[in-house]
């Protein structure tokens, strides 16, 4: 482990104040010995740098999928006081509200027929890859509706059912959205991309439930052994990326204007109540809404395919939950024994609210929030539940995935898409992508083992295992 970093528990590590000059709070990250070899010195430095930001409370945190990112480490969580804190695009990321949802079906592994045909039909129904264009023809007014209302807009337009909304984090809409803070260029990029999967680590996966760890929670979530589920992972596409780019420039100027001293210009920020801070928050919330609407439209297309192929009614396919990975939100948490409102930045981290928390559907009040941790194409994904421990220790947060250990450039040099396709095929996993390079980028070998990352958060108690889902067929962006 790095010099100066202290072990405070079997799975907990502390970066003390003073690790870098100007730290206001300690850093804390969660990691097993098995994962320690994947820890990057740069990611720990970023964790410490975040601790220098004005108004940060309690800790600068990182989950076991920690790796180097822009400004904040990916896997990073930080909360800032409402009155003295700041907001930073580096704490959210370029793919605003990149997130994941799980759809259950009445199909079982035994009854799943024509798997290759299903994969092809889904690939045709959901535009995929860099620059993928939607079959939707949005007007300016409709785009405005997406930005303002999120998943609710999609459902009002016929892309889903009313009950889907309550199964989305924050009911699929941040009411603080300010579409006027979204630039014309961002709108131009977002207009043709609604209902598209995109590229990078985005995917649509046909999965089978292979293991149940908590039968009561699994029953509440509507999942059962051998059941076929569909997992959708994507975000706000080019619109969110452009919003981040636009506001980074504004906040770099604001950092100087408000005389905020930072160790890394990638942490550019502004006070939460400043004009620049409010503008970024409003644009970010609008981008998050676009992402929720995007995933809702994709899920509707998936339901249509399953209905046409297998005669399954839409009402028989239930959304378990939709979680956001890259977002900043105002929440109430207990800090040093006092309940206060904070702006929680989660950058490659998942909300994991415990039982009885606000914003949970009635059916999940006793279990806690469903937490979805996707695997890496050839590895298992996991369904977990949020806990009271997460509320106490991590601002109700947990990991968001496996975490990369190899850059996309290195992956392309080390592997070919054909090799990965054949390797997965030998295990019975089908794969579809716009081209082979997209497959090599996201090979299972370029990620930490998802089961070990999930074991850490389970043993820490910041989320608890409910079910394991195994990939049967994958569409990669």
Confidence at residue 423, expressed as pLDDT on a 0 to 100 scale: 86
- Which of the residues are catalytic? 400
Cβ contacts of residue 316 below 8 Å, gap of 6+?
105, 106
pLDDT in the model for residue 10:
97
What CA–CA distance (Å, rounded) separates 434 from 156? 31
Render each residue's pLDDT in the chain as its tens digit; 477 residues.
688 999 999 999 999 999 999 999 999 999 999 999 889 999 999 999 999 999 999 999 999 999 999 999 999 999 999 999 999 999 999 999 999 999 999 999 999 999 999 999 999 999 888 877 787 878 999 999 999 999 999 999 999 999 999 999 999 999 999 999 999 999 999 999 989 998 888 999 999 999 999 999 999 999 999 999 999 999 999 999 999 999 999 999 999 999 999 999 999 999 999 999 999 999 999 999 999 999 999 999 999 999 999 999 999 999 999 999 999 999 999 999 999 999 999 999 999 999 999 889 999 999 999 999 999 888 999 999 999 999 999 999 999 987 666 665 666 667 788 888 888 889 999 999 988 877 877 777 777 788 999 999 999 999 999 999 999 999 998
Helix (H) or strand (E) holding 301: helix 275-310
> Could you give the CA distance from residue 298 to residue 127 in angstroms, rounded to a whole number?
9
Q: What is the full DSSP assignment across 197-214?
A: -BSTT-EEEEEEEEEES-
Q: Three-state DSSP class for 277?
A: helix
Cβ atoms 380, 469 nearer than 8 A: yes
Which sequence spans correspond to the domains of the chain? 6-405+447-476
Which backbone phi and psi does 109 adopt, to 5 degrees? -55, -40
Tell me what pLDDT residue 200 has: 81
Q: What sign has the CA pseudo-torsion 456, 462, 465, 468?
A: negative
Residue 65's SS3 state is: strand
Which of the 8 DSSP states describes residue 73?
P
Six-digit token pair at 150?
A: 């999120």
Which letter does DSSP use for residue 128 in this model? Answer: B
Q: Which residues pair with 81 in a beta bridge?
A: 342
With vertex at residue 302, the alpha carbon angle to CA 300 and CA 307, rounded to the nearest 5 degrees, is: 95
Return the residue matching tokens 């579809």. Answer: 432
C-alpha dist (Å) from residue 127 to 72, 197, 308, 471: 31, 6, 18, 21
Whole-number average pLDDT of the chain: 94
pLDDT at site 1: 66
Supply the DSSP symbol for 173.
-
DSSP for 241-253, written as a single string? HHHHHHHHHHHHH
Tell me the pLDDT tens digit for each residue of 224-243. 999 999 999 999 999 999 99
Secondary structure (3-state) at 88: coil
DSSP track, 24-50:
SS-EEEE--GGGGGG--HHHHHHHHHH
Could you tell me the pTM of the whole model?
0.96
6-405+447-476: CATH topology is tRNA-splicing ligase RtcB (3.90.1860)
Alpha carbon of 330 to those of 126, 170, 215, 265: distances in Å? 33, 11, 33, 24
């Amino acid at each position: 482990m790095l010099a100066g970093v202290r072990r405070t528990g079997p799975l907990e590590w502390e970066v003390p104040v003073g690790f870098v000059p100007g730290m206001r709070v300690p850093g804390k990250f969660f990691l097993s010995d098995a994962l320690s070899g994947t820890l990057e010195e740069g990611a720990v430095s970023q964790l410490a740098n975040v601790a220098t930001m004005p108004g940060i409370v309690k800790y600068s945190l990182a989950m076991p999928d920690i790796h180097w990112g822009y400004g904040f480490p990916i896997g990073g969580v930080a909360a800032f006081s409402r009155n003295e804190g700041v907001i930073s695009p580096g704490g959210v990321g370029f793919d605003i509200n990149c997130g994941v949802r799980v759809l259950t079906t009445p199909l079982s592994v035994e009854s799943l027929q024509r798997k290759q045909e299903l994969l092809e039909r889904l690939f045709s129904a959901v535009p995929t890859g860099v620059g993928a264009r939607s079959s939707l023809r949005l007007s300016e007014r409709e785009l405005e509706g997406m930005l303002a209302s999120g998943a609710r807009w999609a459902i009002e337009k016929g892309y889903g059912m009313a009950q889907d909304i309550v199964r989305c984090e924050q009911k699929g809409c941040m009411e603080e959205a300010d579409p006027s803070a979204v630039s014309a260029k961002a709108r131009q990029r977002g207009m043709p991309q609604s209902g598209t999967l995109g590229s990078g680590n985005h995917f649509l996966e046909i999965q089978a439930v292979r293991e149940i760890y908590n039968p009561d929670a699994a029953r509440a979530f509507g999942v059962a052994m051998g059941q076929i589920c569909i997992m959708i992972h994507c975000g706000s596409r080019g619109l969110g990326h452009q919003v981040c780019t636009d506001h980074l420039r504004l906040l770099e100027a604001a950092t100087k204007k408000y005389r905020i001293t930072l160790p890394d210009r990638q942490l550019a920020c502004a006070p939460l109540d400043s004009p620049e801070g409010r503008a970024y928050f409003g644009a970010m919330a609008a981008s998050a809404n676009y992402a929720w609407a995007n995933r809702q439209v994709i899920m509707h297309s998936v339901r249509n395919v399953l209905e046409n192929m297998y005669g399954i009614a839409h009402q028989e396919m239930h959304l378990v939950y939709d979680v956001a990975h890259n977002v900043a939100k105002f929440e109430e948490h207990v800090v040093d024994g006092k309940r206060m409102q904070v702006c929680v930045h989660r950058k490659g981290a998942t909300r994991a609210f415990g039982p009885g928390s606000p914003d949970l559907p009635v059916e999940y009040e006793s279990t806690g929030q469903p937490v979805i941790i996707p695997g890496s194409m050839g590895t298992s994904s996991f369904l977990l539940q949020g806990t009271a421990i997460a509320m106490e220790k991590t601002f109700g947060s947990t990991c968001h995935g496996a975490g990369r250990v190899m850059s996309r450039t290195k992956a392309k040099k080390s592997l070919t898409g054909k090799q990965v396709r054949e390797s997965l095929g030998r295990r019975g996993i089908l794969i579809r992508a716009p081209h082979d390079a997209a497959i090599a980028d996201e090979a299972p070998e370029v990620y930490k083992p998802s089961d070990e990352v999930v074991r850490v958060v389970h043993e820490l108690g910041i989320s608890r295992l409910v079910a394991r889902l195994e990939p049967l067929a994958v569409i990669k962006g």
